[in-house]
Structure 1
Amino acid sequence: MNIKLNVKKGIGVLWIITLGFILFPLNVHAAERSEKLVKESLLTDLKEVEDTTYSLTRGNILNKGTAKCVNAGDGKVTAAGVVVAHQICDELYLTLSLDKYDESIKDWYTYKTWEVSEVNASMLLKSFDTEVDKGYYYRVRGVHSAEKGEIYESVETCTDGILIK
């Protein structure tokens, strides 16, 4: 009988603790960072950022697309992207746009764009280095596409912004 009483008491204590967390949740604060969300992208102090989007179509030809933005130093940015297909496709396409953040209008605009393609391939990887204006945030947006016969599939990516000092 003593054991049953202790089990009931234990369950009661657990119930009270659980109820306490529901009614009075703990406020846990992460370390403060100097990041700001602007039109889908955080303005960060990171040296490199990337975004990957997987195709949601089951039985598709396109697997994923990845865009990357890297502070290459000396006022240069590396914009990179990859298109990965599940099989060899007639053609893969990659469009990368380097966007610059304009504080005066609180929005991004296209600074530079590159378009490349590869025939009879299952992967396309390309990077571009470019000089940029220092003191601004930059991000990379990508359109990653695959075509095989009558099938055409595409995904979009968008990185966070990095500050080029």
Structure 2
Amino acid sequence: MKKRIISLVVSILVLSNMLITASINALAEGVSNIETTVDGSRLIYEDYSRGTSTNSILRGEHLMTGDSIITKTGNGRIYTYGQTTADHDVDFVSVIVYVDRYHEDTGKWGQIDGRVKDARDTYFVISTKTLVVDRGYFYRVRCEHFAGNDDEEFYDETESFTDGIWIP
């Protein structure tokens, strides 16, 4: 009889230990999968992020797509990329590329670099730049894309942005 009671107590202890371990592991996995999103960009620990214009209503008649890319290229260096593609040759096509750094104390993005690249009588424009940045922050690329003809009142426009990547 004593052996049965001891066996039952040991079985209950083993089973409860397994349940506690499983719930702690599930809680730890849930915490590590929590992502922070700021102004549409997730804060991630990847080496690369790409954003594409998604709102087809804003693109209009001439603008086909816009892309933005950010990549780690070394210690404290990032490669930034923005491009705009029209459906056909237009009078004007442009990309404005902004590089933003996330400020944890304010919870907002702050612009650290910006540039404009435009072209006439074509369907494509691209702008690239490698930057040396402060380490220990998240960075993203945000672009505004434009395409159109001079005889129209407004150019088609859209935007794209990457997730924020950590620069250690």
For Structure 1 versus Structure 2, the TM-score category normalised by the shorter chain is: 0.7 to 0.9
Which is strand-richer, 1 or 2?
1
Aligned to 2:159: 156
Aligned to 1:46: 46
Aligned to 1:106: 107
Which segments of 5 or more consecutive residues in structure 1 lack a partner in the other structure?
Answer: 1-28
In the alignment, is residue 66 of structure 1 matched against residue 67 of structure 2? yes
Aligned to 2:92: 91
Aligned to 2:33: 33
Aligned to 2:119: 118
Amino acid corresponding to residue 50 of structure 2 in structure 1: E
Tell me how far 1:102 sits from its aligned partner: 0.5
Provide TM-score, normalisation by structure 2: 0.75
| SS of structure 2 residue aligned to 1:116 | strand
Q: Give distance in 2, aligned partners of 1:71 and 1:52.
A: 19
Q: Give distance in 1, aligned partners of 2:114 and 2:30.
A: 36
Q: Give distance in 2, aligned partners of 1:108 and 1:138.
A: 9
Aligned to 2:19: none
2:77–2:132 Cα contact (<8 Å) kept: yes
C-alpha distance after superposition, 1:29-51 (max 9, x if no partner): 98943631122111000111111
2:83–2:95 Cα contact (<8 Å) kept: yes
Aligned to 2:24: none
Amino acid corresponding to residue 161 of structure 2 in structure 1: C
CA change 1:58–1:164 in 2 (3 A) is closer
| Count of residue pairs the alignment pairs up | 137
Greater C-alpha radius of gyration: 2
Q: Which moved more, 1:59-68 or 1:43-52?
A: 59-68
C-alpha distance after superposition, 1:62-120 (max 9, x if no partner): 10111111111121111101101111011111100000001111111111101110111
CA change 1:112–1:59 in 2 (3 A) is closer
Q: Give distance in 1, aligned partners of 2:162 and 2:80.
A: 10
2:59–2:158 Cα contact (<8 Å) kept: no
1:34–1:44 Cα contact (<8 Å) kept: no
CA change 1:34–1:47 in 2 (3 A) is farther
Name the Cα RMSD after superposition.
2.0
Tell me how far 1:125 sits from its aligned partner: 1.6
| SS of structure 1 residue aligned to 2:57 | coil
Identity %: 27
